[in-house]
């Protein structure tokens, strides 16, 4: 059984797609990732058993085409064209579209080759459009219609053979739209422990801030990430814990605004912008930290999401402080892995930070609980099984 995955950025790296593709290969299935990106690597390459078929296009054009899918869709036709080229080289038996905006392309490919389609929805994209910086500010906000996207979502998913969601709360949304329990698989962004722990611990990262208590955020920056709340919280942390340091590892559209906010509150000694780091460095940053932060702004989208960072924090025995997004609060509370604060409440976040920094023994217990949960059940090998079973059932038929 040969599966074509559609992806509109460079591969690798992509934690979720790599985990899925490599797990399928390990279970005797064949996977080609059709990657559209600004990427100078070979057109066709084998990466850990996964065939990568690259088509080159500037990231600037990709972002514009992706943004226009809901009203002037050239993007799906472009992917369809590239998929036909990939099929001519090596026929495939199923198509797997990563993210809602690629599902239309998946439908075109499905109908052309009469094969099953899996819609792998990494987030509630329709709701996310109401939060992204690019879609809520000119000119994007003048072009994006959420009502149209809601109609497209239902129309496209009705033509998919299976839907993959990242959390139970997201599955509930799709079953509420009329999709059957068996039509929606839950494949969370749990940590691939074996792969993550293969990354070496880098002493230069560990020692860089060794005299500070690191409050770590690792990941993308955007309005819905709640990083403004984290920055403001440092106003109430620094006096009680002057050795505390908010370390932001990542980048994104609102970085300049976050830096301006840091300057506005004279927090440059307490907030560091580390920039994007290679995935191989993230384990070292987690190891260097005292607390792992997930300050997401609560919304329909973030109430039904689960970021990779939660599992990575827990796997390296780091206590978590998360906002009260429904799925995050459930996971952290269920596993007794950390503390919860009210979304967008910087004083509440500061209180939780100050509490854990002042009660290291309790923080240690929470951290141990998190690690135990990851090793027992909250890990990729355990949670990927429904997807593998589905594709194996297709192969047997």
pLDDT tens digits for range 8-26: 999 999 999 999 999 999 9
- Domains in the chain: ranges and CATH: 2-189+380-396 (3.40.50.2000), 194-376 (3.40.50.2000)
Taking alpha carbons only, the member of 69, 15, 61, 16 closest to residue 36 is 61
Are the CB atoms for 234 and 266 separated by under 8 Å?
Answer: no
CB-based contacts of 360, cutoff 8 Å, min separation 6: none
pLDDT in tens, 178-237: 999 999 999 999 999 999 999 999 999 999 999 999 999 999 999 889 999 999 999 999
Max distance between CA atoms of the chain, in angstroms, equals 65
CA 131 to CA 348: how far, in whole Å? 23
**Whole-number pLDDT of residue 27:** 98
The whole-angstrom distance between residue 70's C-alpha and the CA centroid of its chain comes to 22
**Whole-number pLDDT of residue 48:** 97
**Whole-number pLDDT of residue 332:** 98
CA 69 to CA 75: how far, in whole Å? 6
Are the CB atoms for 146 and 129 separated by under 8 Å?
Answer: yes
Q: Enter the pTM of the model.
A: 0.89
pLDDT in tens, 233-269: 999 999 999 999 999 999 998 999 999 999 999 999 9
Q: What is the pLDDT along the chain (397 residues), one digit of tens a residue?
A: 999 999 999 999 999 999 999 999 999 999 999 999 999 999 999 999 999 999 999 999 999 999 999 999 999 999 999 999 999 999 999 999 999 999 999 999 999 999 999 999 999 898 888 877 778 788 878 788 889 999 999 999 999 999 999 999 999 999 999 999 999 999 999 999 999 999 999 999 999 999 999 999 999 999 889 999 999 999 999 999 999 999 999 999 899 999 999 999 999 999 999 999 998 999 999 999 999 999 999 999 899 999 999 999 999 999 999 999 999 999 999 999 999 999 999 999 999 999 999 999 999 999 999 999 999 999 999 999 999 999 999 999 8
Q: Kindly report the three-state secondary structure assignment for every residue of the chain.
A: CEEEEEECCCCCCCHHHHHHHHHHHHCCCEEEEEEEECCCCCCEEEECCEEEEEEECCHHHHHHHHHCCCCCCCHHHHHHHHHHHHHHHCCCCEEEEECHHHHHHHHHHHHHHCCCEEEECCCCHHHHCCCCHHHHCCCHHHHCCHHHHHHHHHHHHHCCCEEEECCHHHHHHHHHCCCCHHHEEECCCCCCHHHHHCCCCCHHHHHHCCCCEEEEEECCECHHHCHHHHHHHHHHHCCCCCCEEEEEECCECCHHHHHHHHHHCCCCCCEEECCCCCHHHHHHHHHHCCEEEECCCCCCCHHHCCCHHHHHHHHCCCCEEEECCHHHHHHHHHCCCEEEECCCCHHHHHHHHHHHHHCHHHHHHHHHHHHHHHHHCCCHHHHCHHHHHHHHHHHHC
Taking alpha carbons only, the member of 318, 314, 218 closest to residue 273 is 218
């Amino acid at each position: 059984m040969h599966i074509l995955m559609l992806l509109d950025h460079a591969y690798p790296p992509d934690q979720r797609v790599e985990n899925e593709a490599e797990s399928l290969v390990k279970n005797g299935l064949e996977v080609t990732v059709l990657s559209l990106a600004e990427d100078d690597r070979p057109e066709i390459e084998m990466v850990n058993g996964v065939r990568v078929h690259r088509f080159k296009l500037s990231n600037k054009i990709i972002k514009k085409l992706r943004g226009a899918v809901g009203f002037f869709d050239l993007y799906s036709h472009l992917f369809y064209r590239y998929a036909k080229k990939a099929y001519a080289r090596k026929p495939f038996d199923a198509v797997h579209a990563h993210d809602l905006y690629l599902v239309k392309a998946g439908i075109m490919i499905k109908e052309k080759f009469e094969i099953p389609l899996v819609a792998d929805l990494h987030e509630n994209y329709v709701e996310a459009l109401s939060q992204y910086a690019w879609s809520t500010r000119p000119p994007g906000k003048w072009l994006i219609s959420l009502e149209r996207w809601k109609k497209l979502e239902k129309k496209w998913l009705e033509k998919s053979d299976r839907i993959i969601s990242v959390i139970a709360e997201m599955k509930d949304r799709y079953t509420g739209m009329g999709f059957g329990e068996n039509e929606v698989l839950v494949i969370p962004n749990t940590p691939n422990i074996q792969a993550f722990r293969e990354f070496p611990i880098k002493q230069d990262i560990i020692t860089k801030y060794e005299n500070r208590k690191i409050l770590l955020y690792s990941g993308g920056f955007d309005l819905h990430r709640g990083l403004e709340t984290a920055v403001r919280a440092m106003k109430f942390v620094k006096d009680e814990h002057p050795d505390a340091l908010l370390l932001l590892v990542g980048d994104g559209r609102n970085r300049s605004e976050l830096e301006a906010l840091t300057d506005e509150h004279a927090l440059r000694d307490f907030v560091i912008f580390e920039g994007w780091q290679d995935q191989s460095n993230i384990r070292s940053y987690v190891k260097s930290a005292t607390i792992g932060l997930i300050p997401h702004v609560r919304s329909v989208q973030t109430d039904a999401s689960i970021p990779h960072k939660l599992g990575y924090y827990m796997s390296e025995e780091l206590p978590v402080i998360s906002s009260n997004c429904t799925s995050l609060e459930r996971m952290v509370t269920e596993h007794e892995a950390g503390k919860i604060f009210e979304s967008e409440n910087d004083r509440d976040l500061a209180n939780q930070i100050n509490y854990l920094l002042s009660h290291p023994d309790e923080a240690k217990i929470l951290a141990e609980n998190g690690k135990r949960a990851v090793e027992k059940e909250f890990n990729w090998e355990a949670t990927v099984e429904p997807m593998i079973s589905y594709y194996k059932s297709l192969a047997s038929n």
